[in-house]
Amino acid sequence: MLSFPRFWLGLLNARPEVIELALPYLRLTLASTLLFAVSITLECGFRAARDTRTPLAVAIVVTALKTLGNWILIFGPLRLGLAGAGIATMLAQVVAVSLLVAANRWRGIGIAVPFTPRRIARARGNLREVMRLATPAMLERLVLNLALMDYFALLGSYGQAAVAAYTVGVRITSFSWFPGTGFAAAAATLVGHALGAQAPDEATRAGWRAARFAVGVSIVLGLFVAFARVSLARVFTDDAGVIEALGPFMLTLALAQPLMGIHFTLGGALRGAGDTLTPLLAAAIGNWAFRVPIAYAFERRGLGIVWMWLALVFDHLARAGWISIAFVRGRWRTRAIERGSSFSGAA
């Protein structure tokens, strides 16, 4: 009987030997997704209370433990390979949830942990609002992941080196867009609190200020990635085919950094105002009206892998444009004030 993980790996055009190698890791990481969801929810609770230091401290500890666990379980005496990486990921999520729960009790943030019957009964009144905010956010992740799977399937036709280049390249360049996610969290918190104080102009200024910081930082980091792309690629792999594909890919992502800074940050600002629908629409348009169709057209015409990388730029350009227009129009301000929302959580 074909397993669910095996089925999805098959859709990515992976070779049979690659599927067998990846299955243990995929099964373990899928098993840890519930813990990941809990940790993300708790982190957002801390950020909503203007505490970004606690999630940072937990992330530092968990990252160190995960790195050590990977080294021991992958390269240590047991040599478990990718299965070891999956075990390290699961253990890291256990530690993350445990630390966040302990921090919540120590700091007294007020997040509903543990889930006692009394707390659940008190939360029923907010269920409708929670679902209004959460449903588009969940659909956004679904839209992005389905598009990514389609994109991976198209990359698979260019060979395993192209898929490996994408995977490694995203990991390398992710350091250059992490600041954008940080500014997005800050924008969500500041915008939400400003609207709660009935100060829509301050909310608008907070969103644009965060976006300017994000774009400025992303330009600097994007330039660094662009000029050091070959050296950075050689740190992570010695495969000549992967390195050859990595150079153009990292250059393309470097060009897209300012666009990512814009839609990350303004998307966070909109979520802070309780608008999770606009980021969903932006993700759907960017991925399904641009990235996937353009990549499919390039692949069908037999164009080189560089053209597949360029499809990413159109995706981020569309998302940045859609979210910027929505932020300028300002309907999120009036809707938030009409709802009387004091704060809507950050994604």
pLDDT digits (tens, 9 = 90+) for 67-77: 898 888 888 77
Mark whether 302 and 341 lie in a shared domain.
yes
Mark whether 328 and 227 lie in a shared domain.
yes
Domain of residue 209 covers 128-347
* pLDDT tens digits along 96-149: 999 988 888 776 555 545 555 666 666 666 777 778 888 998 899 899 988 988
pLDDT band at 1 (very low <50, low <70, confident <90, very high): very low
Q: Is the pLDDT of residue 343 over 50?
A: no
Mark whether 275 and 334 lie in a shared domain.
yes
Mark whether 109 and 162 lie in a shared domain.
no
pLDDT of residue 115: 55
- Length of the chain in terms of residues written: 347
3-state SS class at 201: helix
pLDDT of residue 145: 87
Mark whether 171 and 90 lie in a shared domain.
no
* Structural domain includes residue 9: yes
* Structural domain includes residue 122: no
pLDDT band at 341 (very low <50, low <70, confident <90, very high): very low
Q: Of 271, 253, 252, whose CA–CA distance to 210 is shortest? A: 271
Mark whether 299 and 330 lie in a shared domain.
yes
pLDDT of residue 161: 81
Give, in order, the Cα–Cα distances in Å from 64 to each of 71, 78, 210.
Answer: 11, 20, 29
Q: How far is CA 173 from the centre of its chain?
A: 13
- Look up residue 28 and give its DSSP letter: H
Average pLDDT value for residue range 149-178: 82
**Domain final residue, candidates 76, 92, 114:** 114
Amino acid identity, position 322:
W
Mark whether 172 and 98 lie in a shared domain.
no
* Structural domain includes residue 54: yes
Mark whether 97 and 246 lie in a shared domain.
no
Mark whether 159 and 284 lie in a shared domain.
yes
Tell me which long-range contacts 245-248 makes (C-beta under 8 A, separation of at least 24).
Answer: 245/161, 245/162, 245/164, 245/165, 245/305, 246/165, 246/168, 246/169, 246/172, 248/305, 248/306, 248/309
Residue 230 CB: number of other CB atoms within 10 A?
13
**Domain final residue, candidates 114, 139, 156:** 114
**Domain final residue, candidates 61, 86, 114:** 114
Mark whether 140 and 31 lie in a shared domain.
no
Q: Is the pLDDT of residue 8 over 80?
A: no
* pLDDT tens digits along 223-276: 888 888 888 888 877 777 788 888 888 888 888 989 999 999 999 999 999 999
pLDDT of residue 10: 62
Give the mean pLDDT of the chain. 83
**Domain count across the chain:** 2
pTM: 0.76
Higher pLDDT, 130 or 307: 307
pLDDT band at 345 (very low <50, low <70, confident <90, very high): very low
Q: Is the pLDDT of residue 155 over 80?
A: yes
Q: How far apart are CA 255 and CA 83, in angstroms?
A: 35
pLDDT of residue 122: 67
Q: Is the pLDDT of residue 170 over 70?
A: yes
Mark whether 58 and 138 lie in a shared domain.
no
* pLDDT tens digits along 76-93: 777 777 788 888 888 999
* Structural domain includes residue 156: yes
Mark whether 236 and 302 lie in a shared domain.
yes
pLDDT of residue 78: 74
pLDDT band at 346 (very low <50, low <70, confident <90, very high): very low
pLDDT of residue 112: 47
Q: Is the pLDDT of residue 35 over 80?
A: yes
pLDDT of residue 210: 94
Q: How far apart are CA 102 and CA 241, in angstroms?
A: 47
